[in-house]
Amino acid sequence: MWLMFIDWLEKRQLACFYKSTLGLECPGCGIQRAFIALLRGEVLESIKLFPALIPIFAMLILLVVHVIYKLNNGEKILISFAIFNVVITIVSYISNFF
C-alpha cells in the first residue's frame, strides 16, 4: 500500500516552470524527488537531492508544537530555522553550478 502511494506520487510530480522555461534549475528543484526518496527511506539520497528538506520538516514540526504549546522563544527559534533553511538552499543551489 505504502509503495503504491509513493509510486502514485512519483508519477504525478510537477515539472519545474523555471527549469522548463529558462533551462536552469531553480533553488527548489529536487524537493519533490527528495521527498519521494525520503518516503522510500533513502535519507542520504534525499539529502543529496535537496539538503534543506529534513530541516524544513523539523521547522514545521517545531511550528506546530509552538502554535499548540506557546514555547518560550519559539518565534526566535523558528526565525533561526528559517534563516538556516534559506542558507542551506542558497548554498546547495550555488554549489550545483560548480
Same domain, 56 and 84: yes
Asked whether the predicted pLDDT for residue 19 surpasses 90, the reply is no
Same domain, 55 and 84: yes
Same domain, 38 and 55: no
Same domain, 26 and 59: no
Same domain, 74 and 92: yes
Same domain, 87 and 56: yes
HSE-CB for 32 with a 13 A CA cutoff: 12
Over residues 23-77, the pLDDT tens digits come to 888 898 899 999 999 999 999 999 999 999 999 999 999 999 999 999 999 999 9
> DSSP state, 35?
H
- Domain that residue 79 falls in: 51-98
Same domain, 5 and 23: yes
Query: Can you give the pTM of this predicted structure?
Result: 0.86
pLDDT (average), residues 3-19: 90
State the total domains in the chain: 2
Same domain, 98 and 55: yes
Same domain, 35 and 59: no
